Amino acid sequence: MNKQIAILGASGYTGAELVRLVHAHPNMDIAALAADRKAGQPMASVFPHLGHLDLPDLVKIEDIDYSNIDLVFCGLPHGVAHDFVRTVPDHVKIVDLSPDFRLEDGEAYEKWYGGPHKALDLQGAAVLGLPEVYRDKIKSARIAANTGCFVATSLLPLIPALKGGVIDSDPIIIDAKSGVSGAGRGLKEPMLYSEANEGFNTYGVAHHRHMGELDQELSKAVGKDVCATFTPHLVPMTRGMQATIYAKGDANAVRAHLASYYADEPFVHVLAEGEVPQTQHVKGSNICRIAVFADRQAGRVIILSVLDNLMKGASGQALQNANIMLGLPETAGLGIVPMFP
Amino acid sequence: MNKQIAILGASGYTGAELVRLVHAHPNMDIAALAADRKAGQPMASVFPHLGHLDLPDLVKIEDIDYSNIDLVFCGLPHGVAHDFVRTVPDHVKIVDLSPDFRLEDGEAYEKWYGGPHKALDLQGAAVLGLPEVYRDKIKSARIAANTGCFVATSLLPLIPALKGGVIDSDPIIIDAKSGVSGAGRGLKEPMLYSEANEGFNTYGVAHHRHMGELDQELSKAVGKDVCATFTPHLVPMTRGMQATIYAKGDANAVRAHLASYYADEPFVHVLAEGEVPQTQHVKGSNICRIAVFADRQAGRVIILSVLDNLMKGASGQALQNANIMLGLPETAGLGIVPMFP
Amino acid sequence: MNKQIAILGASGYTGAELVRLVHAHPNMDIAALAADRKAGQPMASVFPHLGHLDLPDLVKIEDIDYSNIDLVFCGLPHGVAHDFVRTVPDHVKIVDLSPDFRLEDGEAYEKWYGGPHKALDLQGAAVLGLPEVYRDKIKSARIAANTGCFVATSLLPLIPALKGGVIDSDPIIIDAKSGVSGAGRGLKEPMLYSEANEGFNTYGVAHHRHMGELDQELSKAVGKDVCATFTPHLVPMTRGMQATIYAKGDANAVRAHLASYYADEPFVHVLAEGEVPQTQHVKGSNICRIAVFADRQAGRVIILSVLDNLMKGASGQALQNANIMLGLPETAGLGIVPMFP
Amino acid sequence: MNKQIAILGASGYTGAELVRLVHAHPNMDIAALAADRKAGQPMASVFPHLGHLDLPDLVKIEDIDYSNIDLVFCGLPHGVAHDFVRTVPDHVKIVDLSPDFRLEDGEAYEKWYGGPHKALDLQGAAVLGLPEVYRDKIKSARIAANTGCFVATSLLPLIPALKGGVIDSDPIIIDAKSGVSGAGRGLKEPMLYSEANEGFNTYGVAHHRHMGELDQELSKAVGKDVCATFTPHLVPMTRGMQATIYAKGDANAVRAHLASYYADEPFVHVLAEGEVPQTQHVKGSNICRIAVFADRQAGRVIILSVLDNLMKGASGQALQNANIMLGLPETAGLGIVPMFP
């Protein structure tokens, strides 16, 4: 029998993407859709492109009947998920797309998100939802805390490279670029078409919230404090993300190590020497493509990592986590071929 | 001595465009900038691209000192300009970019704009600001009512063609396409980058507000009621506008008539047979390019008219009107060469 | 056992799209890929986004071994498919994406394509591949001649409307807009990013090749010669197509008739009154969305029809035809949910 | 009397941009336009957006009559300018937009451009055309060798920072991003709209030709060999360029030093602390905007530098050089206000 799924925050882009994925999933049914401000509306009015699917109408979050629900995707804003998780019955697994359960340390949470962690007692039930790193823990976790999109893009090459000792932990410079959909559906002037189109912008220089997750995971990988430089930029395209990473190491060794580490992973592809990953080649898919280049300066390496921010960077990763948590084949519903052009 | 200019609604796109134009104008100075919600701010914080210019800070509209002002560009929302114009001293000329004074008939105004015309007594002082048609009247007018961008694009070929009797007045079908900047800087979900990008949309089918102006002017051109079909579409680009117009007539006669009519006009260019106008070839300029094609059905004609919606469709036309009203050379400050690519 | 499929012209966009579709199809295998200029290369070097799939290398067209092939998708240029089809063994069904078998009349072919129809003897084995109109004939046809993308977009609303007598056959004005991918992967200056970006262009005014197909099918629908006006435009987006159609008729009657005609069709959706179709809402899917509006002039109607030019306008339609010809469920492999944003 | 100008390579984007600029220049006339493959054509057929200007037709390069020419802008491919310059009479000044005279060292030229420097005897007559650094030498130079666009973007902040000793010379990491127009008008598949749109790409990792110029100038600035890391990326927009630069230094000191260095420069603007430059805010202008941020790691600095690659990165810089060489006001014809949106 198919797993019954609820999607909260279904009126946002990651919500729509989850509907696209779960609808096509061979072992899942969409049992409930929730979005507070749009409660009462059919999905067709919120996302016309889903209008022809047979979907439940949007309800308020508190009106979800969890009795038959197996798993909930929680796409609520940060700070809200802490409280919300308490309202979910124990039999329901949770994939949280917010940052609320990503940081294990309450002080770190408060530093980066400007308010107290309100569910530290539940933090132990949560695992960072990066399947290629934490697969075993995710299997038995109650809560998978999906990583941020920048974080997934950066950690997929960096964690194995650091663990394998093929790059130094300092300096690590992550020059990151994101498509505009990463900013979500909120109404902000810089996200208007006429403002973002035909322009390249930098934001959150040296103080982007995703740094907390980066610090935590990079530090865990080497067993000491790591503090990477991280600069996010906004690219005039809807989907796609790239991290250009500068570190010390030998390119051949890094490439070989990553290729070996990811040899059996279905969604992380390490390219052969000389091949260049492009965001347009992973669009709509759950694939992350990684390439390693020798810098012109001996002993320095340039790593490129690309993915679709709404997929492997958000909803695709979330579904991958859900598959693991529910004992389904990890690739179920995720074999989508990239759409190009 | 340079003419002193005030720009109201300077925090919007047409306002920014007017600053760009007036700043470079050899006979004008920017004496005041106003925008109610942003009053008190420097232009640099509202439009960083203008930050290096020596501009007055934004003030509230009621705080403008008109004593030295020669002309005001009024970029206020419809319904507001009616009242505002009464507050402007008599010695100040007005170019109104809102629709408030475009419709000569109070009932027509109410029909299209959903509220009463509050300044019918001043309507007589206003002339539609389409220089190629109403130049003589604009010279002595107190108020030039700038046309809408769709209207300029459509009327420039249609009025002379109708007056010259080279096309029939029914049917006239105007299939219009606009870049996204035409929607202004307001925060609306369909104008978000991720919503408008990579998509083509239709809006206001059969009931767009610009139809009131079209009706009025097309009817005046032939001396009887004309009711054109008009369908506006949204194109994923920032600037540019095209009207593809279908009518009955002989293409060679229409082309010859328009070419003759516009032979001495600096800003309206009628292309030779076979040449196709493209919006990217007028970007940033005050130029309208018009081409006439024979339809495959004898006796039918297809007219293409393109311009930059923020320039000849708005701020460029406004400056052209201002030049005429102030007795300056009509092309002053408007010789900008299109920017391509 | 799965049907064995060959794809010719696999180095073009419709070829890539067919690989994406057939790869995910539950009842088909990709047995051969051919592209003359790229013969010998792996698909990974021609289309990196397909590099992780287990695909056969590209071969020359004449090197395909047809012994196990059930169906070939033929994406060759016009004029070439005529000769090619003779080389295909009788047991192989053909879906031809070129225009070579769309026109039943040799003179019409010569008129629109500038050379003789070289396979008139085989024309009788071909059926126009518009499933919603010719489904029964396609079932038993040897050759399905996929329609052009503009033609699919236009005919889906027009054929039933004409057959049902709810619109007049004259005048019919089709103002069509296409994303840039419709131009294919050939190297032409107007298709460079810097040329097509941020611009709206018109091409083939009054003499586009797709008119031959339109004439033929519209005329068949009413049993007399029909000659529609047709103006194609290029929109700065990769995928998507819209036809804005102007005709005489009653909007409610047209909408009701189309809704009834398409009530059971999985891929053609007629929208409720007031809903507006947008190309971004069908991206990547095989869906055509149609809406009908009353013009402001009584007795005139505006029909909007949108689809993804590479999908329902090309490769999706081709797969739908293949499903029908091979006796598979018509929707197999085509349930792709549109990708938005 | 106006200076008489010839523009070679006028059929490319930098050529069109030079026409736009020189046409509007108060002290220059366009006396000749040359482009070998398009010789004999009017500019209107090569660049329709310039069609309304009164311009000379394109001629072959060898057909230019230099008798009245004061200065030639040479936009020929690398390797060609070496020979060409010998054909230009001594009284004619040259602004070379190719890389042929940028590298002072013949071996360096051969290393980066794959062929011998064929005019080393003339190299001494050439000065790197970076006005903010080499203004005095440019005044009396016969040849100004315009820098590459990436080089201008990088050197404008780096040279004064290195000379001032406020950053270390190692490591310097330049993560650079360019709009597509930087690739020129040549027909290459990756530059097709459907390939470059909606994607982010990296190219020339660790071996881009501009590195030769960077090495030379950075080394000269500190008096020892400097080897910066440099990674260029392609952004889906037509114009705009950003360098995100990572180095060691104190942000406040760097910002203060650059602000002081550029205090009187009309085209290089150093932003106040916290302000972020965006490429869309310099579009169409000759302005470079620079901002300096403290990295989260003490003692490290992030410098952002943005400009319009066709203007300050190419044709605008070229005109600035020409003004200097001809004794005209350096800002003449370059006061263009950025166009936004």
pLDDT tens sequence across D26-48: 999 999 999 988 999 999 999 99
**Per-residue pLDDT tens digits for B117-147:** 999 999 999 999 999 999 999 999 999 999 9
- The answer to whether residues A124 and A176 belong to one domain is no
Q: Does the CB of D24 have a partner CB in chain B at under 8 Å?
A: yes
DSSP state of D242: E
Number of residues written out for chain A: 341
CB B247 within 8 Å of CB B299: no
Shortest distance between the Cα of B331 and any Cα of chain A, in A, equals 28
DSSP code per residue over C255-295: HHHHHHHTTT-SSEEEPPTT----GGGSTTSS-EEEEEEE-
B119 is a domain residue: yes
- The answer to whether residues D130 and D276 belong to one domain is no
Give chain B positions within 8 Å (CB) of D284: 284, 339
Pairwise CB contact (< 8 Å): A238 & B189: no
**CB atoms closer than 10 angstroms to residue C264:** 7
Among chain C residues, the shortest Cα distance to B276 is held by: C202
Pairwise CB contact (< 8 Å): A276 & D244: no
Pairwise CB contact (< 8 Å): C197 & D13: no
Rg (CA), chain C: 19
**Strand segments (E) across chain B:** 3-8, 28-34, 58-59, 71-74, 93-96, 126-129, 143-146, 173-179, 201-202, 229-235, 241-248, 268-270, 288-294, 300-307
- Give me the pLDDT at residue C209, please: 85
- Give me the pLDDT at residue D208, please: 82
**Which residues share a beta bridge with D7?**
D33, D73
Element housing A230 (H / E): strand A229-235
- Name residue, tokens 């602390």: D273
CB C341 within 8 Å of CB A239: yes
Pairwise CB contact (< 8 Å): D200 & A246: no
Q: Please report, rounded to a whole number, the percentage of residues in chain D having pLDDT higher than 70.
A: 100
Mean pLDDT, rounded, for D108-123: 94
A158 CB contacts (<8 Å, ≥6 apart)? A167, A172, A218, A221, A228, A245, A303
Q: Does the CB of A275 have a partner CB in chain C at under 8 Å?
A: yes
Give chain A positions within 8 Å (CB) of D299: none
Report the catalytic residues of A. 149
**CB atoms closer than 10 angstroms to residue A111:** 14
Among chain A residues, the shortest Cα distance to B186 is held by: A189
A66 is a domain residue: yes
- The answer to whether residues B318 and B297 belong to one domain is no
Q: How far apart are CA A156 and CA A169, in angstroms?
A: 15
**Strand segments (E) across D89-197:** 93-96, 126-129, 143-146, 173-179
- The answer to whether residues C167 and C302 belong to one domain is yes
At B162 the three-state DSSP class reads helix
Is the pLDDT at D333 greater than 90? The verdict is yes
A340 is a domain residue: no
Report the catalytic residues of C. 149
- The answer to whether residues C171 and C108 belong to one domain is no
**Per-residue pLDDT tens digits for A280-290:** 999 999 999 99
Name the residue among A203, A206, A246 with its Cβ closest to that of D295.
A206
Name the residue among C183, C185, C197 with its Cβ closest to that of D238.
C197
Pairwise CB contact (< 8 Å): C52 & A181: no
The H-assigned helical ranges of chain A are 13-23, 43-46, 80-86, 106-113, 120-123, 131-140, 149-163, 193-196, 210-222, 251-261, 316-325
B145 CB contacts (<8 Å, ≥6 apart)? B96, B99, B100, B101, B102, B126, B127, B128, B129
- The answer to whether residues C57 and C192 belong to one domain is no
Shortest distance between the Cα of B73 and any Cα of chain A, in A, equals 22
Number of residues written out for chain C: 341
Shortest distance between the Cα of A185 and any Cα of chain B, in A, equals 7
Lowest mean pLDDT: which of B207-216, B328-337, D55-64? B207-216
- Give me the pLDDT at residue D77, please: 87
- Give me the pLDDT at residue C145, please: 98
A334 is a domain residue: no
List the CATH number of the domain containing C283.
3.30.360.10
Rg (CA), chain D: 19
- Give me the pLDDT at residue A218, please: 98
Q: Does the CB of C136 have a partner CB in chain B at under 8 Å?
A: no
- Give me the pLDDT at residue C207, please: 77
**Which residues share a beta bridge with A186?**
none
**Per-residue pLDDT tens digits for B141-162:** 999 999 999 999 999 999 999 9
Is the pLDDT at A206 greater than 80? The verdict is no
C110 is a domain residue: yes
Is the pLDDT at A57 greater than 90? The verdict is yes
- Whether this model's pTM surpasses 0.95: yes
- Give me the pLDDT at residue D40, please: 96
The number of C-beta contacts closer than 8 angstroms across B and C is 153
Give chain D positions within 8 Å (CB) of A231: 244, 302
The number of C-beta contacts closer than 8 angstroms across A and B is 56
The answer, yes or no, to whether ipTM is higher than 0.90 is yes
Pairwise CB contact (< 8 Å): A20 & C49: no
**Strand segments (E) across B93-142:** 93-96, 126-129
**Per-residue pLDDT tens digits for D229-271:** 999 999 999 999 999 999 999 999 999 999 999 999 999 999 9
Name the residue among A187, A189, A194 with its Cβ closest to that of B189.
A187
**CB atoms closer than 10 angstroms to residue D36:** 16
Report CA torsion sign: D222, D223, D229, D230. Answer: positive
Among chain A residues, the shortest Cα distance to D194 is held by: A341
Query: The tokens of A187 are what?
Result: 């109404």
Name the residue among D233, D277, D297 with its Cβ closest to that of A229.
D297
B33 is a domain residue: yes
Pairwise CB contact (< 8 Å): B237 & C304: no
**pLDDT category, A30, cuts 50, 70, 90?**
very high
- The answer to whether residues A96 and A163 belong to one domain is no
Name the residue among C23, C198, C287 with its Cβ closest to that of A198.
C198
Name the domain count of chain C: 2
Average pLDDT, chain D: 96
Query: Which chains does chain C touch, 3 or more C-beta pairs < 8 A?
Result: A, B, D
- Give me the pLDDT at residue A281, please: 98
Strands C126-129 and C93-96: unpaired
Among chain A residues, the shortest Cα distance to B49 is held by: A195
- Which is nearest to C175 in space by CA: C275, C305, C279? C305
- The answer to whether residues B157 and B305 belong to one domain is yes
Is the pLDDT at B206 greater than 90? The verdict is no
D338 is a domain residue: no
- Which is nearest to A303 in space by CA: A131, A154, A169? A154
Residue among D188, D189, D193, D339 with most chain C CBs within 10 A, to mutate:
D193
CB interface of A with D, residues 203-262, below 8 Å: 203, 205-207, 211, 227, 229-231, 233, 235-240, 242, 244, 246
CB interface of C with B, residues 150-179, below 8 Å: 171, 173, 175, 177, 179
Element housing B177 (H / E): strand B173-179
Name the residue among B48, B278, B337 with its Cβ closest to that of D281.
B48
- Give me the pLDDT at residue B205, please: 86
Q: How far apart are CA A100 and CA A104, in angstroms?
A: 10
Average pLDDT, chain B: 96
List the CATH number of the domain containing A97.
3.40.50.720
- Give me the pLDDT at residue D204, please: 82
Pairwise CB contact (< 8 Å): D304 & A198: no
Pairwise CB contact (< 8 Å): B197 & C281: no
- Give me the pLDDT at residue B121, please: 95
Give chain A positions within 8 Å (CB) of B236: 193
Pairwise CB contact (< 8 Å): C200 & B211: no
- The answer to whether residues B213 and B93 belong to one domain is no
- Give me the pLDDT at residue D34, please: 97
Q: Does the CB of A200 have a partner CB in chain D at under 8 Å?
A: yes
- The answer to whether residues C159 and C296 belong to one domain is yes
Query: The tokens of B149 are what?
Result: 């961008």
- Give me the pLDDT at residue A209, please: 85
* 3-state helix vs strand vs coil in chain B, percent to 5: 35, 20, 40
**Per-residue pLDDT tens digits for B92-123:** 999 999 999 999 999 999 999 989 999 999 99
- The answer to whether residues B111 and B221 belong to one domain is no
- Give me the pLDDT at residue A24, please: 97
Q: How far apart are CA A55 and CA A11, in angstroms?
A: 13
Strands C201-202 and C229-235: antiparallel
- The answer to whether residues C238 and C125 belong to one domain is no
Domain range spanning residue A213? Answer: 150-309
Q: Does the CB of C279 have a partner CB in chain B at under 8 Å?
A: yes
Q: What is the mean pLDDT of each run of 10 residues along chain C (341 residues)?
A: 96 97 98 94 97 97 96 93 94 97 94 93 96 98 97 98 98 98 96 98 86 95 96 98 98 98 98 97 98 96 98 98 98 98 98
Pairwise CB contact (< 8 Å): D185 & C181: no
Is the pLDDT at A335 greater than 80? The verdict is yes
D336 is a domain residue: no
Mean pLDDT, rounded, for B31-48: 95
Q: Does the CB of A50 have a partner CB in chain C at under 8 Å?
A: yes
